[in-house]
């Protein structure tokens, strides 16, 4: 993904964090890590940067069909999918993460024409949580800086 789109996603995430703080809403960030798949089985079908870009566009489109209208989804470094889920607490994020994992796993099986179920790690950061606003903001910065 181009730097300006990543910057835009980062800015939207920080804006949503401010909104969650102000209105005392929940906010969650999911990161689906595709790097293991891409460095192993995915190498068979993805041999160029253009292939990698097309792969990410397609998987993002697949996830968007299963997401809410208010959820934001983006690719990052052709290795991760990041999702911002407004008004979603940690429990809701865990449920959404499992649903998105399943969608991505099905997509990867279709992509490789295989019955193998690929394990896609998901990281969840939520606000408010034990880590508080500072922890959420720190996670956003680590991802995008």
Q: How far apart are CA 70 and CA 18, in angstroms?
A: 16
Contact between residue 76 and residue 35 where contact means Cβ atoms under 8 Å apart: no
- Cβ within 8 Å of residue 128, ≥6 positions away: 20, 26
Confidence bin at 1 (pLDDT 50/70/90): very low
Domain 3-144 has CATH 3.30.1130.10: no
pLDDT digits (tens, 9 = 90+) for 116-131: 888 899 999 999 876 5
If one compares 72 and 116, the residue with the highest pLDDT of the two is 72
Q: For the chain, how many helices (H) and strands (E)?
A: 5, 4
Q: What is the reported pTM?
A: 0.86
pLDDT digits (tens, 9 = 90+) for 9-33: 889 999 999 999 899 999 999 999 9
Task: Kindly list the domain boundaries of the chain, sorted by start residue.
Answer: 3-144
């Amino acid at each position: 993904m181009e730097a300006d789109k990543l910057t835009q996603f980062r800015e939207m995430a920080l804006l949503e964090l401010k909104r969650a703080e102000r209105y005392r809403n929940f906010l969650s960030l999911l990161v689906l890590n595709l790097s293991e798949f891409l460095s192993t089985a995915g190498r068979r079908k993805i041999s160029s940067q253009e292939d990698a870009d097309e792969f990410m566009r397609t998987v993002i489109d697949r996830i968007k069909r299963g997401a809410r209208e208010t959820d934001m989804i983006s690719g990052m470094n052709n290795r991760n999918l990041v999702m911002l889920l407004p008004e979603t607490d940690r429990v809701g994020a865990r449920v959404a993460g499992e649903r998105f994992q399943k969608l991505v796993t099905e997509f990867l099986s279709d992509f490789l024409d295989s019955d193998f179920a690929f394990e896609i790690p998901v990281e969840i950061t939520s606000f408010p949580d034990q880590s508080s606003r500072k922890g959420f903001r720190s996670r956003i910065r680590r991802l995008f800086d």
